[in-house]
Chain A
Amino acid sequence: SKRRRLMMFLPHELIIQILLRLPVKSLMRFKSVCKLWFSLISYDSHFANSHFQLTSSKHTCRILFLSNSAPQTRSIDVETSLHDDSSAGTLNFMPSYLEIKGSCNGFIYFKDFGIWNPSNGVHKEIPYSPIHSNLDANCFFYLYGFGYDHTRDDYLVVSMSYNPDLDPISSRLEFFSLRANTWEEIEGTYFPYMNASDDPRVGSLFKGAIHWLACHSDKSINVIVAFDLTERKLLEMSLPLPDDFDLDPNFCDLWVFGEFLSLWSMGNDSVEIWVMKEYNVHSSWTITLVIPIHGISTQYFSPICCTNIGDIIGLDGTGLVKYDDKGQLLEHRSFGIDEHGSQVAVYVESLLSLPGDRVQA
């Protein structure tokens, strides 16, 4: 005989405790449960912040793949197969050319456009910087970044540029504060840096600072520069490699490998992965893995992120490739060569909004 049970209903404050522990995708679906849930999930920044913190150990990390020739987005959960994708919403504002220049707390920064959270559709435009807007100035922008300053609850877009006509070379560092809604330039500091490689770099966000490879223009050596988002200062660190090491800056970059800041460097048939075991301690740089790339037809592999169990996902020029933590090729997914170029960003799912943003359903 089955015991008769009355249906029991939970009070709203208890339901919130459950909702705080749900993945973003479930919460977005449950916006259509009722109007109360809709506004809680869409507009309550306190709820969104608590949710982001409570689920921090298991944020869903995704790779966004954008093609410049078709207004479509692909999004892949890094913990699943590279072939298992779902649409990540749609870009309801399609600028003519998209360049991804940073990612933080679920937001993706597009150069000359603004910031977008693909999980909840929140977006905000960022105006051109004063240096960018000054048409008389001959400026080369070579470092971009985007990060969060937790002490001020503020997001910063950061860029470095220099005028190649000037000697000696001195870079200018500007940042846009989402909270202040304005650009600011760090003045009175000499930044003897220029681009290490041909293409502009996107910084790696690690321990509250944005890290880039750059060339020290006085010493003519490659270094790591880091912009501390709280102190709002630029630091310099040395690369792990011995001085005589032949580093081609066009074939190496920084990324974050699990809990370490890491450098990958590509040779003819392999990619070396270095990690800085202790932050900002030069002697702690260790070579941790050598990945053979002869199994990849393009002979190119640049790591972008890793999974919970330490598999490494990267780009091969036509799509995504996954290796295990021993350097065994696991999976390959080609998106084909896109003549208009494509863009990739790694982001976590979040419900967060930006200070003073416009909210979309």
Chain B
Amino acid sequence: MAEEVSSQMNSLSISETNPSSSATISLVSGDDIVFKVEPTIAKEMETVQSFIDETDGKITTIPLPNISSHDLPYVIEYCEKSIAGKITKEFEAEFVKKLNNEEVKELFLAANYLNIKKLLDFLSQVIADRIANKSVEYVRRYFGIENDFTPEEEAKLREELAWTFTGVDPDDEDEN
């Protein structure tokens, strides 16, 4: 499914290639798919813009090895809405609805790599909302954190903080 989408994206970006629009910027994902974007979009991505600035605008093809062709369209969509001033609560809710927790995490890393402050702030709130009612075990798996408490220490902590262990959602196996 995802492969279909990315190949569509690929053909889309190729069909959009147009010799007269030399000003467009080509973003190349880690899996070598090219996305053509307007320079105004690139401005939203601080990492991309500083790359363009450093080369005096001579280089317009920018490799983004850390970002997959799955994530890049989302980033571009968000940046387009952002420059159009159309980031609304409704758009944001719709935007993340189709992303599972792993995908949100990936996109969060992409936003960090591209240095898009608004997207980074938004996604950190999305992740916070999604893990707020999760178990300690889920959170350890989600962030890849090893439990370094002894069983005695952990049991003692849980006893002291028993009131915080109420209302926790059961772990969803599909999520991880």
Contacts and interface: CB of A to CB of B under 8 A. Distances in A.
B163 A32 contact: no
Contacts of B59: none
Contacts of A1: 1, 3
Given A14-B112, A18-B131, A21-B124, A34 B146 contact: yes
B13 to A, nearest CB: 19
B149 A34 contact: yes
Contacts of A33: 136, 139-140, 143, 145, 147
Interface residues of B, number: 42
A18 B143 CA distance: 11
Contacts of B166: 86
Interface string B84-122: 000000000000000000100110110010000000110
B147 to A, nearest CB: 6
B147 A34 contact: yes
Contacts of A25: 163-164
A14 B129 CA distance: 15
Contacts of A28: 161, 164
A242 B164 CA distance: 50
B131 A17 contact: no
A30 B2 CA distance: 34
Given A8-B109, A10-B108, A21-B124, A3 B3 contact: yes
Interface of A: 1-3, 5, 7-10, 14-15, 17-23, 25-26, 28-35, 37-38, 86-89, 361
8 contacts: A1-B1, A8-B109, A10-B105, A10-B143, A18-B131, A22-B128, A26-B132, A33-B139
The 7 closest A-B pairs by CB, nearest first: A21-B128, A9-B144, A29-B164, A28-B164, A3-B2, A17-B124, A32-B157
Interface of B: 1-3, 70, 102, 105-106, 108-109, 112, 120-121, 124-125, 127-129, 131-133, 136, 139-140, 143-149, 154, 157-158, 160-168
